[in-house]
Amino acid sequence: MWKKSEPEESFHLPPAPPTPPVAAAKAPASQVSKERAIIGATISIHGDLTGEEDLSIDGKLEGKIESRKHNVTVGKNGKIKGDIYGKTIIVEGTVEGNLYGEEQLIVRQAGTVRGNIISPRVALEDGSNFKGSIDMSPKDKSAANPVQNRTENAPKVL
């Protein structure tokens, strides 16, 4: 059996200096949080709405929404009567009008859309409510059909 013959020396490290609050790691420019406008549930707007930032709507709006280079989200309490133009459009509330998504359009489970959807990528979640048509044609139709493009530019044989 081992027997301790000498008293143990205790080594105490000095207390660590307090650490400052953790700063958010720098994200690439494409992931930096953008400004976002929020229209609350008690707000009601009659007229067109345009902007150069992401938009979240939980209130009521009658008119056109135009934010083609930014995301537009219709929250669960949102009720829109009019067309929506956005980069990515997410519908969790109710929209009566056409939706024009530059990149993508998503109708969530609680979402209701009465109108046409025009977007290259469309997702209708299980349980969503949709009545209208969907057009998923790409913007640049010549790039969409390279075979047709090659035959149009091919030399003509006589």
User: Structure tokens of 35?
Assistant: 């400004």
Structure-model confidence comparison of residues 85 and 24, the more confident one = 85
Evaluate if residue 10 carries a pLDDT over 80: no
Region 115-144: mean pLDDT is 87
pLDDT averaged over every residue in the chain? 81
Lowest-confidence pick of 35-39, 52-56, 109-113, 115-119: 35-39
Q: What does the pLDDT read at residue 137?
A: 87
With pLDDT > 70 as the criterion, what percentage of the chain qualifies?
A: 66
With pLDDT > 90 as the criterion, what percentage of the chain qualifies?
A: 63
Q: Do 95 and 80 touch, CB atoms closer than 8 A?
A: yes
**Domains in the chain: boundaries:** 34-151
Q: Do 57 and 72 touch, CB atoms closer than 8 A?
A: yes
Pairwise CA distance, residues 60 & 39, whole Å: 9
